[in-house]
Amino acid sequence: MTTTEAYGARAQEYADLLGTIEAMAPQDRLCIESWALAVEGPILDAGCGPGHWTAHLAALGHEARGIDPVPEFVEIARRSHPGVGYDVGSFAELTGGSLRTAHAGSWGGVLAWYSLIHLEPGELPDVLAQLRAALRPAGSLLLGIFDGRRQESFAHAVAPAWLWPAETMAQLLEDAGFDVVSLERREDPGARPHAALIAERR
Ligand SMILES: C[S@@+](CC[C@H](N)C(=O)[O-])C[C@H]1O[C@@H](n2cnc3c(N)ncnc32)[C@H](O)[C@@H]1O
């Protein structure tokens, strides 16, 4: 089963458990809200799942749109947040194909909150290049990832995922043409270590 199929089969369950802003850690809200305040221009929530972060950013007054490759998620997002725009699509389609919107190449910010975690490490350079190409010059990318001592896969509840040493991810971002401007780590009781990286298109 692919990652998309695995999420599709459990989309409503995921949305019921994790698809509201109230279910999110206050520190994550602060991180995403303060990042968005500094972004100039429209924000793309790439791998938006049930769309709660997109809708939250829109409610705060940002121009925000979500994409996700799982049609079931996009349907839930559209139903739950009728005033917000969502499209079915993956990172690979960001700068071409059906997702080539008026904003392709000119997003002020891209949020990839835990949406890179299921990619094989070898896929990251191409995907980061896509994310970079989706951004305007000096546009900002915010990544949320599971932080690990080593790069290793683990049995995530929905589909296999990867732990990334945050420094390794930072180096990949630099190699892909970003300047990493912030790297924060956090360990919450009972949760896997978390890291958030902000990187600007060089
Ligand atoms: C752990 S969920 C995170 C969802 C949402 N960002 C959140 O914070 O709740 C991972 C998301 O990444 C999406 N995803 C997986 N592979 C993707 C790809 N190649 N392109 C875009 N999104 C992808 C999944 O469909 C899923 O919605």
Question: CA 79 to CA 121: how far, in whole Å?
Answer: 34
Q: Which atom of ligand 1 is nearest to the CA of 70?
A: 25
The pLDDT of residue 94: 83
Q: Any residues with CB less than 8 A from the CB of 50 and at least 6 apart, and which?
A: 11, 14, 15, 18, 19, 73, 76, 77, 80
Report the share of the chain in percent with pLDDT over 70.
96
pLDDT tens track for 117-157: 999 999 999 999 999 999 999 999 999 999 999 999 989 88
The pLDDT of residue 98: 61
Q: How far is the CA of 58 from the centre of ligand 1 (A)?
A: 19
- Ligand 1 atom 20: residue of nearest CA: 90
- Ligand 1 atom 24: residue of nearest CA: 47
Mean of all residue pLDDT scores within the chain: 94
**Amino acid, res. 92:** A
**pLDDT for 85 beyond 90:** yes
- Closest by alpha carbon to 102, among 134, 77, 130? 134
- Ligand 1 atom 11: residue of nearest CA: 115
The pLDDT of residue 100: 56
Which residue among 22, 86, 115, 116 has the greatest number of ligand 1 atoms within 8 angstroms of its CB, and so is best to mutate?
115
Domains annotated for the chain, with CATH where assigned, are 3-201 (3.40.50.150)
Q: How far is the CA of 115 from the centre of ligand 1 (A)?
A: 4
Q: Is residue 91 within 8 Å of residue 130, measured between CB atoms?
A: yes
Q: Is residue 118 within 8 Å of residue 99, measured between CB atoms?
A: no
The pLDDT of residue 102: 56
48 pocket-lining for ligand 1 (C-beta < 6 Å): yes
Q: How far is the CA of 34 from the centre of ligand 1 (A)?
A: 22
The pLDDT of residue 4: 95
Q: Distances from the Cα of 124 to the Cαs of 87, 176, 185, in angstroms?
A: 22, 9, 20
pLDDT tens track for 103-112: 678 899 999 9
Question: CA 140 to CA 178: how far, in whole Å?
Answer: 9
pLDDT tens track for 23-55: 999 999 999 999 999 999 999 999 999 999 999
64 pocket-lining for ligand 1 (C-beta < 6 Å): no
| Mean pLDDT value of segment 176-199 | 96
Q: Which atom of ligand 1 is nearest to the CA of 7?
A: 25
The pLDDT of residue 93: 84
